[in-house]
Structure 1
Amino acid sequence: MASVNSARKYDTKRSDKVIVVVVPFVAQGHLNLLVHLSRLIASYNLPVYFVGLSVDIAAVKPRIEGWSPSDYPTLRFHEFPAPPAYLSNTNPTMECQSYLEFLASAMNAAAYLRSPIGSLLKELSPKCERLVVVHDALMVNTVKDAVVQNLETYNFFVGSAFHDASLVWEVLRKILHVPSFLWKLVGRFVLPAGAVVPDRLPIPSSCYPPEFFKFIVDQRKTNAFCKGNLFDACRAIEGPYLDLLAMVYKLARKGPVWGIGPFNPVVTKRNTKTDQDSSSKTPRHKCLEWLDKQPPKSVIFVSFGTQTVLSDHQLHELAEGLEQSGQNFIWVVKDLTKGYKNTKINLPAGFEERVEGRGLILRDWVPQLEILDHVSTGGFLTHCGWNSCMESMCRGVPLATWPIQYDQPRNAILITEVLKTGIPIKDWESRDEITTSTTIRNAIRRLMASPEGEELRNKAAEAGRAVKESVMEGGISRLEMDNFIAHITR
């Protein structure tokens, strides 16, 4: 999987029968994952079209890590002009009033792409025996109306298998009108071995803005025509939940399920000074030089992704908690800027001077994979976006969870209650409350400087080894991908 660096020698005559079109949702995390998926499919010597708005594709290409599009001659980037007043989520410095504007723009763009993508599919259809469309699960309505005889469509889910499996399990209970206490008994006999669905899970509608939640539900309602389902999930850690989804989807005639994650490189280059390639002309990021000077497993990495906005009050409590913890840390603060404008954040007076040498404040892009892979990194305080969770698990780094929105609350439960490779700092029930510096301080100390934290690190390292093995030759994720390719080229 992530270790594949060149095209495999599949029968070209067989490959000529199939063209694959990959349709991502117009948001940064979705685009990044699906361009990696496009690379993996192209590695089987299949023609692949990665489609999207020109402004988004222009932003995605420079962020590709670990491979070059030029290494995959069958991979093509097919661009469409952006609609008027389009706010690209790939440009975090663009000024707007709130992230809700980005969401509205993304939903409008999904509808706008329906016509040009439909025209492209009609153009490609006569050139192959089977036209395969792998579309983001949020782009069902964008491709559903394409009138093409030889078309097959497959859903791609960017979140965890646990997230969708737990939702499906709850929906089944409501459809069958089974009381909660009886449903637990049913679960003992029906749930796949190893599958645990906690009693208290966040209500989906509470995790998304109302308009976006309706948009997601509408996609799910019109999903009956797809031929299969791909997940950014690894059976080594989420096997029971992929099995549950496979069981339910088979009954619903929604096609097979494949767990083909992770997509990020499971091993990064130059994560310590001694590992640096002397022939490389690219300088290491300053944070890696700083990490080289810290003791092993002593640094907690703090980052909330590209969409999170914390109040000034909460920012100050977080700063004080980090200071009081006494732990070394790297804190990415640029992404917490209000209004998504590239301006400096007002941290507590004197904070940076007081933590100098122990804490590193970064306000620009950081090499997250290399930070997580560094021997000095011992924990990750995260919003629990699935990309960050997977990147951390691949590297055996335990998490301190602080979910903000979307699938993050259920991802946090997977990490803390199911896999037990992290601890909660903030749970979803207290999302509207300020998390105090004392709570933050105590959680960081638990993760970084306690026997419990050491046990979490051991569990995380074990999960990381299993994930790495899954993407190697003969590993379960590689076999799942082989199986999917065999299915679409049958």
Structure 2
Amino acid sequence: MAGDKKLHIVMFPWLAFGHMIPYLELSKLIAQKGHHVSFVSTPKNIDRLPTKLPPHLSPFLSFVKIPLPQVDGLPSNAEATIDLPYHQTQYLKKAYDDLKQPLTHFLRSSNADWILFDFASYWIGQQIGPKLGINTAFFSIFIPQFLAFLGPTSGDSRINPEDFTVPPNWIPFPTTVAFRQFEIMNIFDSVTGNITGVSDLDRFKRSADYSDLVAVRACPEFGQEWIQVLGDVYGKTIFPVGQLPTSEYNCGDHENPAWHSIKEWLNKQLEASVVYVAFGSEVKPSQHELTEIAFGLEISKTPFFWVLRTQQGPTDPDPINLPEGFEERTEGRGVVWTTWAPQLKILGHDSVGGFLTHSGWSSVVEAIESETPLVLLTFLADQGINARVLEEKMMGYSVPRNQLIGSFTRNSVAESLKLVMLKEEGQIYRDTIKKMKGLFVNKEKDDLLINQFLEYLKTHRKEKAEEDLLFR
């Protein structure tokens, strides 16, 4: 029977590690079911991914390297958003668009049944899939609330920043989910466009419009009403595939020298006393923001472990610096870590009692997995929408800031940390994050979602004629 045949699924994420890692997690879950997965990205990105697989998965998950075309304005050796300042990501998108031809060449000989693609590569659903007779699915690492807020594929009349600071009229229930003025201003180029000629907002809408189905990072027990809205907005089948918690890649301490020294420091701290500070791979605060965060940590008297990016790639012309004497004044109480750190291990350590985060969803899921309460400080992309969702659910507390320009003070940082980690009025955040773990990290329920998703992919794949296979 056709439904019993194993699938070949191609994964093609956007060139950001916040996208590639969830795509890899889904790839592993699919490979565990005996289906073959080809994970396609650029050579440098694949080399930086945790591609060491358990022996039982290796036969089912392969990594396909396609060189990234060079374009004017893109620094050489830059293959992901982590490699360059925010304003240069438009050139990365242009190079990504130029992957159409080599990706098509690979797909012609792949005998793929489905290709799961990211928001940036809308052209897979629009052009490549139909041309080659391959089913296409838009797999969004963004949560349903964010996609629903972005709106339908047509009929959206929002053009000004202020239009994005209120819930849109297609959301049929009361909600606070919307951007703050400063949040939408920081990313308004996503609406107005860039050198590629297609704005990020249009990429999202075209991806949904041209795909055969939409898969989202979600579970029905958390935000089912938003999944329903998304289905109504897109007019598509929506498949939640779970929250995709990050795998523990390095099981033994001896395999990770960085973790060994970090753990040694954490072991000396009191239980639930340390705030972990990290803002993801794409965020670099401004110099003023960095200064206020640093002084906030200092005056809070809270032990801290801070993973700090002072530069966005080697071509970043504006590196930021800690206040003079900061590390000396906080020596023994805090650590500033400027290279990669094993976030999942750190969050899971008994001494960590709070997480000052940008609200990136992978970090949120890891915090929930570790039952670590959240203090939110948004900067880019979907982070503002994520923060509203967390605020509504009392899962996180946002550092108070000016709603128009986003400014905040060192005192607001210090008080936010103490509220969430220590004070009685912050107990609700500490309790709620623990209650959510069963929804976000539930292997039995996640396994059911993956089975339902794969069953749909099997029963709805296009049957390829033998002569069609010969000429692809």
Residue 462 of structure 2 is aligned to residue 480 of structure 1: no
| Alpha-carbon shift at residue 149 of structure 1 (Å) | 5.4
Report the Cα offset of residue 267 of structure 1.
6.9
- Which secondary structure state, in structure 1, belongs to the residue aligned with residue 332 of structure 2? coil
Secondary structure of the corresponding residue to residue 59 of structure 2: coil
Task: Report the Cα distance in structure 1 between the residues aligned to 2:362 and 2:106, rounded to whole angstroms.
Answer: 30
Alignment partner, residue 206 of structure 2: 222
Structure 2 CA distance for partners of 1:231 and 1:136, relative to 1, 3 Å: same
Q: Tell me the residue number matched to 1:157.
A: 140
Superposed, 1:29-428 pairs within 5 Å as: 29-61=18-50, 67-68=53-54, 71-84=57-70, 87=75, 88-90=78-80, 92=82, 98-101=85-88, 103-124=89-110, 127=111, 131-146=113-128, 147-148=130-131, 150-168=133-151, 190-191=172-173, 196-198=174-176, 201-202=179-180, 206-210=185-189, 214=193, 215-223=199-207, 224-249=209-234, 252=235, 254=236, 256-265=237-246, 280=254, 282-283=256-257, 284-333=259-308, 335-337=309-311, 340=314, 346-416=321-391, 418-427=392-401
Letter of the structure 1 residue corresponding to residue 57 of structure 2: D
- Residues 52 and 70 (structure 1), Cα distance of their counterparts in 2 relative to 1, 3 Å cut: farther
- The answer as to whether partners of 1:327 and 1:448 remain within 8 angstroms in 2 is no
Q: Bigger shift: 369-378 or 220-229?
A: 220-229
Report the residue type matching 1:25 in the other structure: W
Deviation digits for residues 385-427 of structure 1, max 9, x if unmatched?
A: 12212211222212111110111111111111x2111111155
Distance 2:431 2:241 in 1: 25
The CA distance in 1 between the partners of 2:222 and 2:97, in whole Å, is 35
SS at match of 2:298: helix
- Which residue pairs with 1:465 in the alignment? 438
Residues 340, 202 of structure 1: alpha-carbon distance in 2 compared, 3 angstrom cutoff: farther
Q: Is the 8 A contact 1:12 1:45 kept in 2?
A: no
Give a deviation string over 1:63-112, Cα, whole Å, max 9, x none: x6xx44773312121221221255435484x5x6x3211x1232112211
- CA-to-aligned-CA distance 1:18-43 (integer Å, 9 cap, x gap): 32111111222112221222222222
Q: Distance in 2 between matches of 1:449 and 1:264?
A: 27
Amino acid at match of 1:217: L
Change (3 A) 1:73 1:427: farther
Q: Secondary structure at the match of 1:237?
A: coil
Change (3 A) 1:54 1:161: same
Distance 2:87 2:120 in 1: 17
- Structure 1: stretches of 5+ with no match in the other structure: 1-10, 176-182, 271-275
Distance across 2 between alignment mates of 1:295 and 1:21 = 46
Q: For 1:358-391, what per-residue CA distance to the aligned partner results, in whole angstroms no more than 9, with x for missing partners? A: 1111111111011111111111111111221221
Tell me by how many angstroms 1:197 deviates: 2.0
Residues 68 and 96 of structure 2 are in contact (CA less than 8 Å); yes or no, is this contact kept in structure 1? no
Aligned to 1:273: none
CA–CA distance in structure 2, aligned partners of residues 485 and 356 of structure 1: 52
How many residues of Structure 1 are paired with residues of Structure 2 in the alignment? Answer: 439
Contact 1:156 1:229 in 2 (8 A): yes
Contact 1:332-1:364 within 8 A present in 2 as well: yes
> What TM-score results when the alignment is normalised by the length of structure 1?
0.80
Whole-Å separation in 2 of the counterparts to 1:168 and 1:109: 27
Deviation at 1:172, TM superposition (A): 7.6
Q: 1:284-321, CA deviations, whole angstroms, 9 ceiling, x for partnerless residues?
A: 43222211121221111111122222233322221111
- Please tell me whether residue 446 in structure 1 is matched to residue 419 in structure 2: yes
Letter matched to residue 208 of structure 1 = I
Corresponding residue SS for 2:223? helix
- Give SS of 2:117's match: strand
Structure 1 residues 24, 33: closer, same or farther in 2, change over 3 A? same
2:13 to 24, 33, 37: 24
User: Equivalent residue for 2:4?
Assistant: 14
Give the Cα–Cα distance (whole angstroms) in 2 for the partners of residues 170 and 450 of structure 1.
45
RMSD of aligned alpha carbons: 3.3
**Could you tell me which residue of structure 1 aligns to residue 162 of structure 2?**
none
The equivalent residue for 2:464 is: none
> What letter matches 2:427 in structure 1?
E
Q: What is the CA–CA distance in structure 1 between the aligned matches of 2:423 and 2:57, rounded to whole Å? A: 46
Distance 1:428 1:77, change over 3 A: farther
TM-score (norm 2): 0.83
> 2:187 is matched by which residue type in structure 1?
Y
Supply the distance in 1 between the matched residues of 2:449 and 2:285 (Cα, whole angstroms): 39
Contact 1:420 1:456 in 2 (8 A): yes
Deviations 1:307-366 (A, max 9, x none): 222233322221111111111111112x13366569985322322222122111111111
Q: Kindly provide the amino acid, as one letter, of the partner of residue 451 in structure 1.
A: E
